[in-house]
Structure 1
Amino acid sequence: MEMFQQFDYGLPACWKNSDLVVYLVDFLRKTGMLIDILDSVPLPKDPTNPSSIYNLPPSAAKFKIRDIDLLRVGFAPASNEDIVIPPAEVTNFPKHYVLPNINGEILARAKFDVHKFGCISDPKVQTFFDKLHDVVFNGLGVVGTDETFTDTLVDDLLRIVELNDWPLKIRNHPPCRLYIEDEPCVSSIPEFVIKNKGSIFVGVEDKHLKNVRPSTDYGESQIAVEVLACGNEDIRSVDRQDWKDQTIYVVRVISRYVTFYKAVIPASYWEELLFGLPKQQSIVIKRWPGANGLRTGFDLAEPDGRQKVLTALIKIRQYLI
């Protein structure tokens, strides 16, 4: 109720002290539904306190660069792959998804026909390359900006490397919330989450080049909140005395370009969030490849890009199990 006591939401005067309104708001807050309602309503700011939790956007999708500063989260390029991608032995590599004779130029053709490639006989591989053509051609902007192409392609990628095989399982669009002072302050719905043994793999898709903005650092401000919300949901499922540092891997997909991230969240960061925004602890999320932009990730349309993405995903899978 503190949020509603501090600000005037235009409620009739007779409502403001109504027991029914107090009960309703408290119920919505405790069930987590309040943050969903406020997600569609511009939250009032607290100009008297720039570090107030009320100055945070209500959802990950609305975060900008300036907002993650309040959470003391930043990004940095990794100097080499091993800083982000866990070391693991790669066995049974699905080399039939690389195919050096299929590249971006071929996939961008309007009349691309997967049946004309005699080197592809597996129906699953044929479907993958046909979907990849859809993503590449859609990225040209000549047929609109359908975002479903990237969704289904990424879903296939995860299954190709067995990230949906026991003991792992994909959860698509799980609702997550970041709690500060034990209040659900920010909502998040990542594309997918895979958890096992205290480690988490999160997917964030920006889907089309035209939908990505520099004001979000090309989606990184959203990634920061997705990481925190997923980590927070996980840490709150165990007793406080058992809190441990968390490792969270992230994949960002902008159209056909793939970037990997690794975040290590100390348990002490969550301790600070119990009492408000962090003052001492901070998080640096490492990025690979190191540059950040619309097209700086590994290019799935190119054979070398596919090989690097599949290899990284396999290593993450090995780490998770």
Structure 2
Amino acid sequence: MENILLFGASGFLGSHLKKSLPQNIVPVNIRKENWQEEMPYDVSVFINCIGKAHDHSGIATEKDFYQANFEVVKSLFKEFINSKAFLFIHISSIAVVEENERAGIINEQSECFPVSHYGKSKKAAEDYLLAQQIPEGKKLIILRPVMIHGDGDKGNLKLLYKIISKGIPYPLGSFNNLRSFISVDNVAYLLNEIIIRWENINSGIYNICDDYPISTKQIIEIIAQSQGRKAIILYLPIVLINFFAKTGDLLKLPFNTKRLKKMTSNLIISNEKIKHSLGIKELPLSASDGLEKTIKSFNNVE
């Protein structure tokens, strides 16, 4: 069985891949001294899940982001080139393209507008990788996922769940938005397909997301239904909501302008390139079924 080196196996995505991928997964901890010596000789694939995501607390520095999202990538890719592995899969982020609302559907040809240190450092890693000479017999796949959710998720979806599960009305009904998400199960499925069909897929960048976007109000309804209740949605004036969000910025509260943007802006991504390259018509889990599964996992924890 093929040896798959998994970097970042202790993180949210990595921990799921370690359990979900059918290949022989070998977690590698690059914090250990001389970690390269622990890699098996017979290696087929490198999967890089290492990365520093958004820092809502504002503690992380620009250097922290570039170290985790850029410098590490250079070290791993050098090892890949010198190894017997034929495939390097790098988990980037859709933040490379867009972190705020944009009209229309985003695809791999869309112009990049990273704003944060997170997005910019991820873009720097992509640029570095794309500038490298790929030897014959090897391939480089850069995946740009949208927000990944699943069991153990501690991001914006979990925050929304905590609010709604307490019976607190959802106050953002005045916002009409659609966003693309992807369940961690669909991520694992795509990675497995890439590993199996690597000879049929070209090196390059691929967006990954569920087949259809979903609105925040739909998510609210799924949360309420999972607990046998009816969703309570308020339609407060947008001006008032923006005032509360700015107050959250000043007082360093969980609800702030960044959170509000994430919860109410449009971000619609196309996954047609990856599906066409792999010969896939649709992903195993629909957007609504995937979110339902994640939210049920929250219920079990609570």
- TM-score, with normalisation over the residues of structure 1? 0.28
Choose 1 or 2 for highest CA Rg.
1
- TM-score, with normalisation over the residues of structure 2? 0.29
Greater RCO structure (CA 8 Å; 6+ sep): 1
